Amino acid sequence: MRWVPTREMLAQSWQKYGLIVVGNIVFFVLLYFISYRPNNDEHRASELLAMAQEQETQGRAEAASVLYGKVLSRYPETEASRMAKTRIAAVEKWVASRAVPGKSQIVAPQLDLSEMLDRRPSLYIATYLAAHYGDDPALKPKLRAAILAYLGAAMRIDGLSLADLRREKELRAPDLETELFSIRPACAMAPDFVYDDFSVRNDNFFPWHNANIKLEIKQGSEILSGEIRVEELAPGATIDVLEFRVKGSGGVVSCAADVTTAEGRGAWNGKI
């Protein structure tokens, strides 16, 4: 015989355990919003503090000083603010010691602070570095790598789209826009027992969509080409396109990749 609880039994159970269940739910909801909500002041301040410390470690004193200052002005009551206060004086002294009398100084980027404070931290630091991109040609490779890393974080962590990033005026500088947003494929080979695998890698910080990938492999007089379509290819991901038997005595292997995506078109030519 199947046991079915009566209405009286359910009422007694609710009177006995109902308030405990409701109380636990309310407690954990309040705990989330007070301590674990991802956009609370402590979290945002800690995020900025971590970026400032990273910039200081990498020798970018100006960027670190700006980020420490933002923590102090925007989140003065947080633990991160107390830590920033202990570091900003040393960083500012470091910036002053690097100034050489008689030499032109790097001009701080002219940014609208009221606008910048509303940006996500990853985009804030990316645009700040982009404004310095043309100051010192020797720093361009490091600046480019850092900007790409922060833009990747802006998409992965902060949920910004490629269209959002393309609209930023600091990223549209003539000598920088091509470096950041051009489609950059690369060819890779994985040796195998008989036929070696040749693939194309996405070297952009953003994913490719609706990609048509063409690949041509050449060794001596032997040429083999292949083509593949893929709906999406993540940054740093590779996709196998064709197999080619590389001969040990056949000479240099050359690779030519041509990629057309919803974000643009790019090509790569080189020797493997």
Tens digits of residue pLDDT in 182-223: 999 999 888 888 888 999 999 999 999 999 999 999 988 899
Q: pTM of the predicted model, to two decimals?
A: 0.56
Q: Which is more confidently placed, 218 or 63?
A: 218
Cβ contact 106:135 at 8 Å: yes
The ranges of the chain annotated as CATH 2.60.40 are 185-271
Residue 3 has pLDDT above 70, yes or no: no
User: Where does the pLDDT of residue 104 fall: very low under 50, low under 70, confident under 90, or very high at 90 and above?
Assistant: very low
In the block, tokens 């100034």 appear at 99
In the block, tokens 């355990």 appear at 17
Which architecture characterizes domain 185-271 according to CATH?
Sandwich (2.60)
Determine the pLDDT at residue 271. Answer: 87
